[in-house]
Amino acid sequence: MKRQKDQPDPAARLRDQIPEAGFPRGVGVASATTFVLLVMIAAFTAVYLSTAGPLSLLRADSGGQLPDEVTAGRQRATAALAQSLATSATSAAGDLRVATDSGVFDNGGDDAVLARLGKTYPDWRGIAVFDPAAKRVVATHGEPVAVENLRGVDVTNLTVRPIARPGDSPLVLTALPLTGDRAGRLLVVSTPLRGLSAELDKGPVRQIRLVTPDGVPLFSSGNEVPATDRVAQDLLARASTAAAAGESGVLSGAATDSGERLAPVVSYAPITSDGTAGSLGLAVVTLSRFPVEPAPARWPGLLPAAALLVLAVAGFVLLRSAVVKPILRLRADALAVAAGSLDEPVRQSRIREVNRLTRAVERYRSKLARRRPRDKVKPVVSAQVIVAVVTLALLGWSVAVAATLGRQHATVSPAVLGEYGGRVTHSAETLRRSLAQGLGDLRSVARLGSAERPDRLNGMLERLAEDENRFRSVYVTDEEGNVVHQAGRESLRDPGKLPDGSGIHQHNTSGRVPVVYAFARLPDSGKVVVGEYDIPRMASVLGSAGGRVRVVDEGKRTIADTQGYLAFSELTDSVLVKNVATAQSGEDARESTDSSLVVASRLADDGSVADLNWVVVADQPVSSLGVADNTVRSGARVAALLTAVVALMLFAWHLLVVVRPLRRVAESAVPIAKGVGMGAVVYPHRQDEIGTIASCVEICRQALTDGKTRLGEVRRPAGAATDETKLLQRIEDEPVRGHPRPVRRREPQPLKPRPQPRRHQGNRRPEPAERGRK
């Protein structure tokens, strides 16, 4: 009989009664989610794994580009140059304080005092005593001092002011107010600003500019930029404006076709110094040119991305057709049988876990319809095997990508190696200059300490230890090497007689801390001024080079290290040892390996610092460079790792949500189909399609026990009690042998009105009193 159109489908009505939760439940959620994740990983692999960068999709750079490490290195080098210029500009400040503390102004006239200071500090180009009230120079020594630049300036503290000289490096005026009989006057010293020519002697730097706070160039050195080079002119103008505002950064432009293709790089940084007054707020701007590297739009990630996309689509189709679709088909047939539609046979499946349930539901249908069951279909494969195959295919892709693109070596261009070598050389020069200036300071103190007021020596030592933080300890020894006066921390040098003259020595080659000291003898006294260098301060000077920078002695023992070290630990890396030996022989030592850049440079070739025979060796991992091959390798490793995680998640998700719940329901459904365990209730442990199948199995079990009237409803009809319900009720009512029956707590009931006696009507049994009367 054909069902009326207004009557609902029994299977649909039963499906509405069984709850099924949404995400993340559901047998098809795992495959859909992992498919979306794999498509996203494939897109990442295609776009990010590119030697030209993701932006090359939008623009084609056929002319080439500069490596990121080159521009970043120039910014670090310019910042280091600014710091070096600040140290040079304020170098006379500490010397002035030491000189005033020495008592040299206590006796003698101005001319004699200035002559003595000129002999003590040969770097001072000119010295003058200036009276700002009278606006006149009282005394002068050496070159003329441009004191007119201090007129109108309120000098109440140490003041530093740079001044320009046409065709030469700028001078720095350092003014200090005098005290005592010379109160109200200024001691003014002019010194050259050093550190500019060394930057231009070697390396890619073409021009250096010093910019005033109003953006006007104070000094320019190097090759002039032609007016026709509008790219470089524009970069310099923008950098000067930003540097005048106290900012730091780097700008790069397009390459020009003048012979070799060179791209301009302009970097800028402010020159700042603490503890001084005056308009020192200059900024340094450097112009460099580097050869560009051809960067064709190569896309090594396209092939792996296409392969991953194929695997994602194939795995998704396989899981949906072999696992998800049979379960959904079983759910529909189970709902039909549980709803009472027993005419159509249950469709069988070739998946082992689903096949066990389809055969069981088919047995239910045949028993309830009293018909012969459909022929059995033998299972072919397990659902777990299908999920494992998809997982292994994805893991194989991860291994292949990690073993190919994830292990390729980055190619470092000569421009990157040359730029890094220039930074290491500049750091070595900065350290050499710091050591030499320390020795010069000690020599100046030794000359001033032989004045008529030797009691001022302690004050000079304290000032030298405080202002010049290159020393950890400054002291004076007698002829036998015993400490007489000391400032700063306790000395680490073993007591003993010092060598003749002055110089810089390395005291030990083993121990807890390297001891490196400079010394100078006081004239006509036999005493020696000694300053022990601060090793961490030495290491901080080298930090601007980048990477790991070490200072080793002639025995290749580590003296200083920018990344922490064990004192006097010997170099063990064969590449480092080879480059150190090359640098000790006076040759250029620069090498690029598969894993790092190595540069070694002698600290000094002549002078007092050369007696140390030290070598500065630096190595920077190639992985830290911003070259394109590094980006591809890092992206390949990330893509391989993400795909492996998604593959394992796919396997675990299907195992816990699909395979194991199917097996659990089959273990309960198969005995019922065989007529065994009819009293065991089948519980739906999950609110998804498999939970719906479990509910249908329970409905069929009840129908096999109570009759076909049980079909079509999830809840039991009122008044129907199955055997297990009666059994549970009997167990609850009867006490266990040897134990009293538990007393049930009853809630108090409200009082009901007493019923009135009714008259005897019909065949009502008479009351006892009535029977007595009768």
Per-residue model confidence as pLDDT tens digits over 396-439: 999 999 988 877 766 777 777 887 888 888 888 889 988 998 89
- Highest mean pLDDT range out of 107-111, 345-349, 481-485, 640-644? 640-644
Question: Is the model more confident about 711 or about 324?
Answer: 324
pLDDT of residue 111: 85
Percent of the chain at pLDDT exceeding 90: 21
Number of H helices, E strands in the chain: 20, 20
Asked if residue 729 has pLDDT above 50, the reply is: no
Say whether pTM exceeds 0.85: no
> Which range (153-167, 480-494, 571-585, 644-658) has the least confidence?
153-167
Question: Is the model more confident about 262 or about 598?
Answer: 598
Q: Tell me the mean pLDDT in the region 155-178.
A: 81
Closest to 150 measured CA to CA, from 106, 121, 190:
190
Q: Annotate 446-511 with DSSP letters as a single string.
A: HHHHTSS-GGGHHHHHHHHHHH-TTEEEEEEE-TTS-EEEEEESPP-SPP-PPPSS-EEEE--SSS
Side-by-side strand order, sheet with 126-131: 136-142, 126-131, 186-192, 168-177, 159-165
Closest to 204 measured CA to CA, from 425, 427, 415, 426:
415
Q: Tell me the mean pLDDT in the region 121-139.
A: 86
Asked if residue 716 has pLDDT above 60, the reply is: no
pLDDT of residue 727: 43
368 near 708, Cβ under 8 Å?
Answer: yes
pLDDT of residue 742: 47
> Which range (155-164, 314-323, 341-350, 517-526) has the least confidence?
155-164
27 near 328, Cβ under 8 Å?
Answer: yes
Four-point Cα dihedral 553, 557, 561, 567, nearest 10: -120
Please write the tens of the pLDDT for every residue from 33-85. 999 999 999 999 988 876 655 544 444 444 556 777 778 888 888 888 888 88
312 confidence band (pLDDT: 50, 70, 90): very high
Alpha carbon distance 44, 309 (integer Å): 11
pLDDT of residue 294: 62
Taking CB atoms within 8 Å and a gap of at least 24, the contacts of 585-590 are 590/417, 590/418, 590/421
pLDDT of residue 495: 84
622 near 631, Cβ under 8 Å?
Answer: no
Alpha carbon distance 471, 242 (integer Å): 36
Q: Tell me the mean pLDDT in the region 85-112.
A: 78
For the chain, what is the mean pLDDT?
80
Torsion sign, CA atoms 437, 442, 445, 447: negative
pLDDT of residue 774: 42
Tokens of 253: 């432009």
Residue 529: enclosing H or E segment and its boundaries?
A: strand 528-533
- Strands (DSSP E) along 534-592, which ranges? 548-552, 558-561, 589-592
Asked if residue 193 has pLDDT above 70, the reply is: yes
Percent of the chain at pLDDT exceeding 70: 83
Alpha carbon distance 201, 210 (integer Å): 18
Question: Is the model more confident about 644 or about 463?
Answer: 644
Alpha carbon distance 528, 19 (integer Å): 95
Closest to 432 measured CA to CA, from 602, 561, 586, 556:
602
218 confidence band (pLDDT: 50, 70, 90): confident
295 confidence band (pLDDT: 50, 70, 90): low
Helix, strand or coil, per DSSP, at residue 166: coil
Question: Is the model more confident about 458 or about 667?
Answer: 667
Please write the tens of the pLDDT for every residue from 365-389. 888 887 777 767 787 889 999 999 9
List beta partners, residue 351: 381
| Rounded to 5°, angle at Cα 391 from 388 and 396 | 120
Asked if residue 395 has pLDDT above 90, the reply is: yes
pLDDT of residue 169: 76
End-to-end CA distance of the chain: 68
> Which range (297-311, 316-330, 378-392, 549-563) has the least confidence?
297-311
499 confidence band (pLDDT: 50, 70, 90): confident
Torsion sign, CA atoms 303, 304, 305, 310: positive
> Which range (183-192, 217-226, 236-245) has the least confidence?
217-226
> What number of residues does the chain have?
774
506: left (phi over 0), alpha (psi -120 to 50) or beta: beta
> Which range (87-101, 214-228, 648-662, 728-742) has the least confidence?
728-742
Please write the tens of the pLDDT for every residue from 688-701. 888 888 888 888 88
Residue 319: enclosing H or E segment and its boundaries?
A: helix 302-319
pLDDT of residue 762: 44
Asked if residue 599 has pLDDT above 90, the reply is: yes
Mind listing the domains of the chain with CATH numbers? Answer: 28-45+302-406+642-700 (no CATH), 66-291 (no CATH), 414-624 (3.30.450.20)
- Highest mean pLDDT range out of 14-18, 406-410, 452-456? 14-18
